[in-house]
Structures are given as structure tokens and as C-alpha cells.
Structure 1
Amino acid sequence: MKIVIDARFTRTDHHDGISRYGSSLIAATSKLADVTMLINDKRQLALLPDVPYVMVNSPLSPLELFVARKVNPLGADVVVCPMQTMGTLGRRYGLVLTLHDLIYYEHPTPPGFLPAPVRLLWRLYHKAYWPQRLLLNRADIVATISRTTESLIAKYKLTKKPVRIVGNAPQPGQTPRNPTDGADKTLLYMGSFMPYKNVETMIRGMAGLHDYSLHLLSRITPQRRTELEALVPAGATVHFHNGVTDAEYEELLARATALISLSRAEGYGLPLVEAMALGTPVIASDIPIFREVGADAVSYVDPESPAAFASAVAELGDDTLWQQRSHRSVERAAEFNWDESARQLLAAAEEVVALRKR
């Protein structure tokens, strides 16, 4: 089977969630099938596996409406896009489109890296569900990464097409830390600083954690940093790293007491699984997707309560409990892997081929 996977959402300098998902899925699927990537910038190749590729237009270009004209000659049985926005006019191939989450219906602020006209369209798009239905119903199968999002797709009747899980996973080859080595009194956050990420609660919670330091690892705009610095309690230690390499991230995780994520909404929560794979306990907001991903390995708290966050950190100060959580975290993370995701994708692709033969 020949599969074309759209890699045009890959970043050119560092991965975000969609970028890493697509790259990892391509790497795993290429071990099982004939895979070709679509890219629009050769700089993307630095973050992609060594797989054949074809250059086409940017997914943000007006030419995206007609991208099928460039994809049709590739002879793909199935084309897979890690988003739901790929142009389909005149397509002659099977198509899997992906919907990761419904975050932006409740929290409509668009990512800041998008061009201004796209940000305006983004806001308009998320004011109603019918545009999403139009996009998803162009596919033969809709993929998503979690049972939580699958249930929301059904709740809001977003598509008449079959919905299949193609899961997310941590990076392979990570060596878990030795729980008996203990941990530094450091707390880590990896993620954006958009309002729904709720970084404010963890910063306020540091008021009662003077023995700990909070490390905010992701890139941040000067304006947003100024806003958050104003919230740091007196006597608290909060470090803004403004970006770290993968190696630096892994090194910090291997020493930390916990990774923190107090998001009000998420599509999956990849940093949770990345931390758990290394044996680093997680403190997370008590929302359905985190319960699905973390099961009984995670400490869940009210995302609106700085005191609940601080209490969860204090509990992990008990060495016995910390070691138990570290061990269970590794067990839970092992249940997610890219080889299984690739098998899920191939099963969906085979289903698409069968559907198109009817």
C-alpha cells in the first residue's frame, strides 16, 4: 500500500505538538508501508525522518484549494493529513483527516504564529460547528488521538464518516530514571502560554512552595513574560527558560520532582507521557483527557486552585510516595508507543481502501 502523509505542519526550528505527532507517525509508519511525505519548505526536513518527499504549496496558501492536483499524480492509495484542513478539490485518492481536539471552541484565542488573516478566520471558524462538519465530511475516515475527543466528535455530531483512533506517544528509546536516586526540588512546565494553559495557577501556587523552583521551559513572548512575572509571589522562585533543546528537556525531567500541567483543556497532553516515560511523576488538572492518559499514575488537582496544586507538590515530598508514582508512571507510559499508532493508521488506511471499492 502506498501512503502519502502530509508533513507540511512540521515546524522548521523546533517541534510543537502537531509537528512532533506528524514526524513520529511518519517514522513509525514508514517501517510498515511505502510512505512519501508532503512538505512545503526544505528546512522542515531537519525535523523529519529520512523518507521520500514531494514539495507542494504551504497549507496556508490559497493554492491549498487545489493541492489535490499535485497529489493525484503520486498514485497514493491513501493520503493522511495530521490536520483537517487539507484541500480536496478533485482528489482521486483515499483520505484520512485528523481532528486532535475541540479546545478552540471553548477557548477561541488562535496561536500567535498564524498570520493575521488566518487568525481572523480561525476565530470565525470556531463560532459554530458546521464549518468543522464540512471539513471532516470530505474525508473517507476521520482520525483522532484519544477516546475523549472521539466522544466529543460524537456528542456534537461533527461527522458522518467513521472515526478511528491513531494515538499519540512519547519518543522511543528513553531510559527511565532510577526512582531510588530521588529528585531535585524542581517543578517543570512544558507547553505554550496561551490562556487556557492556565500557567497562572501554578505560579500563584508557588507562594507556599519556597523550597521548590518552578521552571517554565517553552518559548515565550516578552509581553506574556512580563504579564506572568507580575504574578510571581514574593519569595517564590520561577525561572523562564524561553525554550530548551530536547536534550536539555530530558535532562531536566530526569532530575525534577514533577512535571506540571494545569490546563483547562487539552487534546492529549504529550508532556505528561514524556515525563512518565522517564519516571517523572506528574501533577495535572482533573480533566477527562488527563484521566484517560494518566490513569492512576498522576496526581489530579482542581486547575483553579493554587492551594490544591501546592498540596499535591507537598505530598510528593514523601520519598516512598514519590518512588511509587515514579514506578507507576513508567508502567503507564509504556502503554503508548508509535509502533502501535502506525498499526492503527495502517488499519484505518486499509479500511479506506475497502470503503472506496464498494
Structure 2
Amino acid sequence: MERYAAEITQRLDDLVDPVVESVYLVVPTGTFHDFAFRNIRVIETGRLIGGNLGGYLWEQIWFARFLLSHKADGYLPLNFVPVLKPDVVVTIHDGNALSHPEFYPTVRKRLYRVLASVLLRVARRRSSRILTVSHASRDELVDRCNFNASYVAVAPPGVDHITEDASRTAMNVPEPFYLALSSATYNKNFEWVLETAVANPNQTFLIAGKGDFDAILKSHGYHAPPANVRHLGYVSDEQRNWLYSRCAAFLFPSRYEGFGLPPLEAACLGAPVIVSDIPPMREIFGDGFRYINPDVPATDLQAVTNCPDVGALRAEFSWTASAVKILAHLRRTHADKRGAIVHGKLSN
């Protein structure tokens, strides 16, 4: 989601007309940023407080206060709307807080789900316009979360940021290897990777991404990863690009996604991909793929490996095209106003 916020904001800067629109990126005071915009002005207001909830509190207090005091209209790219100023345009990436309580097994996660559920309901009732990242996510918001279909539009992520000459930083890892990259959450289904590694002891499996990997291991009955599995933790964009370009295949056995950007990124750097049979993956890759059952480990990896049509993917998924859609909705929704405020808290 952080990638979505950053890329869309950058593309909006290229699209807005500063002669007729006053557009601002609002960020917490003192937070690091290196934005270099031509048409969007960066404004700092308020401060982050409250630890992991700091971003949400800032949105609810300081961003809402800014909109109200300036009589401005807002866009938030990361799921939630301010309760005090809910009539904004918002991108909701998925509705799992309302539709999948099983994704929140711990007390801390259940408390977050309560907060997220409240804010999603506020967005459902009061936001000016809702965008989401896939038709699968739109169907979920409408069918399972009771959003009004006429107010939900689709603006998917793009792959414009992944070019064939993208910067790459080599890593000291054994080759060949299969790669999985995502945050360590339940729906990402690292259990499939672990069990597939056990079923393929002569292959090397690398797992990259933020999160508590040890907790994932313990939740699936592992005291340590299988001998042929290596956890890399967080990797930079340059390291990620190198891993994508060198892997035997990129593994994405997710049980649930709003969209699912990593396999699209990997494919654009030449990686074959192995993806689960869930609606967003079929939306991206089509019906001609060999999809995996996310509950059944693979014993024959070659049999479920796919080589996507990269040209078609690049043509279909563009950050610029989605930014054009978002700006059109902002202008249409606020046709009687002078401009929009672009929310600049790019992560929570």
C-alpha cells in the first residue's frame, strides 16, 4: 500500500494543473521526506504520536483539522477516512477487516480489526468517492461489505516503476533459488512455501519481507525453517530487483489479496511465476495460467511455473493511467471547488 501511495502521488504531480488547481501533499511535521514535486506543494502539520497507531491518529486529528480549517477536499490512498471529515475520496485496498475475521487471530490484531471495521463503515456511508485496486476487491466491497456499487471504481497499481534497466544490488545467496517476498501475515501463506520446501529438498527457497518470521514458523509447528529455506528479512528495492531477475521462479501462494503486486513486478523483470488460484491473480494473469491450490504444497514446481506476457502486463497496469482515473474522480466529485488535497502520510 505504501508503494501505491507514493507512486500515485508522484503521477498526480505530473497531471495536475497548477493554474486552476491548488494541490497539497500534507505530511506530519518532522517526518523525513525527499519529495521533488513541480506542481504539488508539501505542507507539514501536526506530529506523529501513539507508536504503531501514530499514522491513524494523525489522519483522524491533524489531517481532518487541516481539511476543515482550509475548507479543502481530500484524497487518502491508504484505506481509511477521517471521522471528523469523512467526505473525502479514498482508495480502499481491500475489505478483509469486515469480510475475513480469521486474519486477525491475536488480541492486538483483533483490536486493529475493530478500528479498521469502524473506519471502513464510515467510508462506506460518508466518503465522497471510493476507489479500489481490482475488480475482485470491488466485488468484495460490494457483495460482502455492502458498499454501494455506483460509488466504487477501480484504479489498480502499475508497473511503471519496474523498468528493464532497474537498479540491482547483488546478494550473497545460493543459486538457483525460488523466491517468496511479502509481509509475514496469515493470508500470505508462508506455510505453503515451507511445506513445498520440505517436498523439494534439493531446491533452495528464499523468503524476503518484513514481519515476525519466527512467529510464522511457530504458528505452523516449526521450531526452525527447513534446511533448504533461508529468511532474508527486509530487502531494499535494488536487492528485490536482483532477486526477481535471478530467481528460478517467484512464489505467491497467497490465500487472499486486494491486488497482489509482487508477482507482477517479478514477471516484469523476467521471473517465471507460481501463483495461487484466487480472483485477483486470475484478473492479472488470465485464464491460461496454471494456478496452484494454496492449501496443497507443490511436489513438481515445473508443472505449475508460468512465463507471463510482460508486454501485455505493462500495457494493462500503469500508475499513470490509474492516477488519471483518480484525478478525474477528484475533479468530478469536487467540480464546484478549486482543488484537492492529496494526503501525504505515505505509510502507517
> Where does residue 273 of structure 1 map in the other structure?
264
Q: Return the letter of the residue paired with 1:64.
A: Q
Q: CA deviation at 1:208?
A: 3.0
Mapped pair 1:166 → 2:162: no
Conservation of the 8 A alpha-carbon contact between 1:170 and 1:273: yes
Mapped pair 1:214 → 2:205: yes
CA distances 1:114-154 after superposition (whole Å, capped 9, x unpaired): x95xx55423356xx77633333221111111101111122
- Decide which of 50, 53, 66 is 2:42's aligned counterpart: 53
> What is the distance in 1 between the residues matched to 2:7 and 2:41?
15
Conservation of the 8 A alpha-carbon contact between 2:179 and 2:247: yes
> Where does residue 60 of structure 2 map in the other structure?
64
> Where does residue 230 of structure 1 map in the other structure?
223
Q: In structure 2, do the counterparts of structure 1 residues 72 and 111 end up closer, same or farther at CA, with 3 Å as the change threshold?
A: farther
CA distances 1:257-312 after superposition (whole Å, capped 9, x unpaired): 11111111111101011111112121111011111122257531000001xx332x
- Decide which of 234, 254, 278 is 1:287's aligned counterpart: 278
> Where does residue 113 of structure 2 map in the other structure?
123
Conservation of the 8 A alpha-carbon contact between 2:137 and 2:258: yes
User: Which TM-score applies when normalising by structure 1?
Assistant: 0.76
Conservation of the 8 A alpha-carbon contact between 2:67 and 2:85: no
Bigger mean CA offset, 152-161 vs 240-249: 152-161
> What is the distance in 2 between the residues matched to 1:62 and 1:174?
34
Mapped pair 1:332 → 2:316: no
> Where does residue 143 of structure 2 map in the other structure?
155
Q: CA deviation at 1:42?
A: 3.9
> Where does residue 100 of structure 1 map in the other structure?
93
SS in structure 2 of the partner of residue 301 of structure 1: coil
Gaps of 5+ in 2: 49-54, 167-174, 339-348
> What is the distance in 2 between the residues matched to 1:195 and 1:73?
41
SS in structure 2 of the partner of residue 86 of structure 1: coil
> What is the distance in 2 between the residues matched to 1:97 and 1:327?
31
SS in structure 1 of the partner of residue 80 of structure 2: coil
> What is the distance in 2 between the residues matched to 1:213 and 1:224?
21
Q: In structure 2, do the counterparts of structure 1 residues 62 and 44 end up closer, same or farther at CA, with 3 Å as the change threshold?
A: closer
CA distances 1:1-23 after superposition (whole Å, capped 9, x unpaired): xxxxxxxxxxxxxxxxx111100
Q: Where do 1:1-358 residues align within 5 Å? A: 18-33=1-16, 34=18, 35-40=23-28, 42-46=30-34, 48=35, 50=37, 51-57=40-46, 58=48, 59-61=55-57, 64-65=60-61, 67-74=63-70, 76=72, 78-89=73-84, 95-104=88-97, 105-109=99-103, 119-125=109-115, 132-156=120-144, 157-159=146-148, 162-175=151-164, 185-221=176-212, 223-224=214-215, 227=218, 230=223, 232-233=225-226, 236-296=227-287, 298-306=289-297, 309-311=298-300, 313-315=301-303, 325-326=306-307, 328-354=309-335
Q: Return the letter of the residue paired with 1:80.
A: Y
Q: In structure 2, do the counterparts of structure 1 residues 217 and 173 end up closer, same or farther at CA, with 3 Å as the change threshold?
A: closer
SS in structure 2 of the partner of residue 101 of structure 1: coil
SS in structure 2 of the partner of residue 239 of structure 1: strand
Conservation of the 8 A alpha-carbon contact between 2:162 and 2:269: no
> What is the distance in 2 between the residues matched to 1:297 and 1:137?
39
Q: CA deviation at 1:332?
A: 2.2
Aligned-pair RMSD on alpha carbons?
3.2
Conservation of the 8 A alpha-carbon contact between 2:184 and 2:213: no
Q: CA deviation at 1:83?
A: 2.9
Conservation of the 8 A alpha-carbon contact between 2:156 and 2:322: yes
CA distances 1:182-211 after superposition (whole Å, capped 9, x unpaired): xx5311111111122110112111123233
Q: In structure 2, do the counterparts of structure 1 residues 355 and 107 end up closer, same or farther at CA, with 3 Å as the change threshold?
A: farther
Q: CA deviation at 1:25?
A: 0.2
Q: Return the letter of the residue paired with 1:170.
A: V
- How many residues align structurally? 312
Q: Which has the higher contact order (CA 8 A, sep 6+)?
A: 2
User: Which TM-score applies when normalising by structure 2?
Assistant: 0.78
SS in structure 2 of the partner of residue 189 of structure 1: strand
Q: In structure 2, do the counterparts of structure 1 residues 44 and 142 end up closer, same or farther at CA, with 3 Å as the change threshold?
A: farther
> What is the distance in 1 between the residues matched to 2:308 and 2:71?
47
Q: In structure 2, do the counterparts of structure 1 residues 19 and 49 end up closer, same or farther at CA, with 3 Å as the change threshold?
A: farther
- Percent identical among aligned pairs is 21
SS in structure 2 of the partner of residue 351 of structure 1: helix
Q: In structure 2, do the counterparts of structure 1 residues 176 and 295 end up closer, same or farther at CA, with 3 Å as the change threshold?
A: farther
